Structure 1
Amino acid sequence: MLDHRSTPITGIDAHAHVFSQALTLAGERRYTPGYDATLADYLTHLHANGLSHGVLVQPSFLGTDNRYLLAALQQAPAQLRGVVVVAPDIGRDALQAMARQGVVGVRLNLVGRALPDFAAHGWKVFFAQIAELGWHVELHREVDDLPHLVRQLIPFGIKLVIDHFGRPDARLGVDQPAFVELLELGLSGHLWLKVSGIYRLAGTPVQNLAFARQAMPLLQQSFGLRRLVWGSDWPHTQHETSIHYASVVEQRQTLGCSQQVEQALLIDTPSRLFGFHRP
């Protein structure tokens, strides 16, 4: 048991993954890991960078088998929360059991997949259960499709969290129509956004960072500080050779955020969104 219940919150990493290459992987996957990303390694990175708590997100290549993630949560329940991937026909009892283990949301990783019909009865039942639990739904999809998906999901009354800046194409700038539309939807008060995965924004490293710097003040105006969180995206799958934990921390520090913004990104907003209790 690695838990330290008296640990004060010095910073929350809102997006990371743990896994072992020995696990059974999903048949349909875009990536196959060749290494282990252990909880011990992750906690070491947190502490080395002045952070105390984290949110573990089920990686897509493990499908709906969340056992490794749930086992990690049990090792440090006060310091960790979880976001799982489940089938929409999962039973209420299974969801409630996960909630007791520290799960606070479900991820819909729709990258490379056909868009679902959220008007279908099964999805309506599923989202009703998510709303009842007070969980959030995390959306991962390129920005062109996000406004359409968000408009479908808002009527369900669930908290919606957008992954990785909304996955815009940094080469198209902050004026690209779908990103502007996402900013407009951010004004609705229904959305949160993860300031994470800058290296996943389709441009060169210079273009990606320039986009993130230009986007930050726009995101603050649209979403507000109460709806933005930061995540490392450790262990940076598909970018492991060029991206490291310290480098994403450095990227965050070069975004020009004030101390007030850093406090909101790292402590205040993720504490509320993910249910961390501050001593």
Structure 2
Amino acid sequence: MTFVQRGLTRRQFSVGLASLATATATRAMSETALPTIDTHAHVFHRGLKLAPGRRYAPDYDAPLSLYLEQLDHNGMSNGVLVQPSFLGTDNSYLVECLKQTSGRLRGIAVVDLAVSADELRALDRAGVVGIRLNLVGQPLPDLTAAEWKMLLAQVKAMGWQVEIQRNASDLAVLAPQLIDHGVTVVFDHYALPDPKLGVADPGFRSVLKLGATKKIWVKISAPYRNGAAGENFAKEAYPLLRNAYGLDRLLWGSDWPHTQFEAAQTYEKNRQFLDVLIADPGERTLVLASPYQLFRF
């Protein structure tokens, strides 16, 4: 369901979002007045070809139909499908799912460095709005190399984002390089500081300073990926991120189906934790609606 389907014109949405951004933190607002967007989820099934060298592969299915049920049952108007790393650069299932949902969903693809402009344009037409760099366990890329310059120039030209998953200390180095290339940057999962240090991690402190660039968004998603005390960390990190980035640059994601944490996590549990994390309805509404323009809904 898009904001138009919810009875809002584009101008009404923009006015509503601007008004919300300037409202006091204690102002109560209905979460149904604006779009509610889940910015991080994965869909797949066991029949798909797996990428060589993958670190992990699930032994179950997470089909589009089940994800849409999660959105509906939890009052979410829109979602973003992120290409799983174990499927590599074959985005065909992602594209197939996007085409089935008539604009309700957007996609973040994983592409080869040598991807052609025609391939990128085809992904764009399908609803893809960015590329993902999942660098966990991978060598850091040389963003000054010619092939990276070419890819990032194409990403910039298309108005796409670069979503990156890496530990906070490396993000503090990589993000300024990406910004120098003129692209918008999104950090996954609270920017993944050292779980032993949490908000005291020097890398996380450097990430907070990057909020001043106004070129970076942070996903407050999957606190469990930040160690056993992930929820406590999230409660400490959220006010720091809010102050450094502003509510309009924080993004909520369910991380459904919570790969490698399936036994302890559910969509509903993560959505309910957001209510605990952001107790003020006005703040929460803005965080859920802020992805609208970034993801081109």
* TM-score (normalizing by structure 1): 0.94
Identity %: 46
SS at match of 1:124: helix
**Residues 201-240 of structure 1, C-alpha deviations (whole Å, 9 max, x = no match):** 02x2xx2111101111111111111211100000000000
- Of the three residues 94, 100, 113, the one matched with 1:75 is 100
User: Residue 226 in 1 paired to residue 251 in 2?
Assistant: no
- Paired residue for 1:209? 231
> CA, structure 1 residues 176+95, in 2 after alignment: closer, same or farther (shift >3 Å)?
same
- Given that 2:167 and 2:191 are in contact with CA atoms closer than 8 Å, whether structure 1 keeps it comes out as yes
Measured after TM superposition, the shift of residue 6 of structure 1 is: 5.4
Q: 1 CA distance for matches of 2:91 and 2:181?
A: 25
In structure 2, the partner of 1:272 is 293
Tell me what 2:124 maps to: 99
Aligned to 1:189: 214
Q: Report the 3-state secondary structure (helix = DSSP H, G, I; strand = E; otherwise coil) of the residue aligned with 1:83.
A: strand
Match of residue 198 from structure 2: 173
Deviations, residues 73-131 of structure 1 (Å, cap 9, x unaligned): 00003200000000121111110111111000000000010111000011011101000
Query: Secondary structure of the residue that 1:174 maps to in structure 2?
Result: helix
Report the secondary structure of 1:187's partner residue.
Answer: helix
Q: Could you tell me which amino acid in structure 2 is paired with residue 221 of structure 1?
A: N
Check the 8 A contact 2:106/2:295 in 1, yes or no.
Answer: yes
Listed one character per residue, the Cα deviations across residues 37-60 of structure 1 (whole Å, up to 9, x for unaligned) are: 011000101110111110000000
Indicate conservation of the 8 Å contact 2:3/2:35, yes or no.
no
Deviation at 1:4, TM superposition (A): 7.9
Q: Secondary structure at the match of 2:157?
A: helix
How far 1:7 sits from its partner (Å)? 3.3
> Does the aligned pair in 1 maintain the 2:2–2:77 contact within 8 Å?
no
Task: Single out whichever of 55-64 and 24-33 deviates more from structure 2.
Answer: 24-33
Distance 1:263 1:124 in 2: 37
Q: Which runs of 5+ in 2 are unaligned?
A: 7-33
Equivalent position of 2:224 in the other structure: 199
Residue of 79, 86, 107 corresponding to 2:111? 86
What is the distance in 1 between the residues matched to 2:43 and 2:195? 28
- Residues 217 and 5 of structure 1: CA distance in aligned 2, closer, same or farther (over 3 Å): closer
CA distance in 2, matches of 1:171, 1:114: 22
1:115 equivalent to 2:140? Answer: yes
Work out whether residues 106 and 137 of structure 1, in 8 Å CA contact, stay in contact via their aligned partners in 2. Answer: yes
Amino acid at match of 1:53: N
Contact 1:18–1:38 (Cα < 8 Å) also in 2 = yes
Say if 2:259 is the partner of 1:250: no
Tell me how many residue pairs correspond in the alignment: 270
2:68 to 39, 43, 57: 43
Asked if 1:154 corresponds to 2:183, the answer is no
Amino acid at match of 1:252: L
SS at 2:199's partner residue? coil
- Following the alignment from structure 2 to structure 1, what is the Cα–Cα distance between the partners of residues 214 and 59? 40
Aligned CA RMSD, in angstroms, stands at: 1.4
Amino acid at match of 1:119: T
Shift in Å, 1:22: 1.1
Provide, for residues 241-262 of structure 1, a one-character-per-residue CA deviation record: whole Å limited to 9, x for no partner: 1101111112111113422221
Secondary structure of 1:262 counterpart: helix
Query: How far apart, in 1, do the equivalents of 2:246 and 2:3 lie?
Result: 30
Contact 1:10 1:50 in 2 (8 A): no
Contact 1:84 1:105 in 2 (8 A): yes
What is the rounded CA distance, in whole Å, between the counterparts of 1:257 and 1:274 in structure 2?
Answer: 25
Q: Which residue of 2 aligns with 1:55?
A: 80
Q: Given the two structures, how large is their TM-score scaled by the length of structure 2?
A: 0.88
- Asked whether the 8 Å contact 1:4–1:76 carries over to 2, the reply is no
Distance 1:85 1:76 in 2: 20
Higher relative contact order (CA 8 A, sep 6+): 2
Moved over 4 A (4+): 3-6
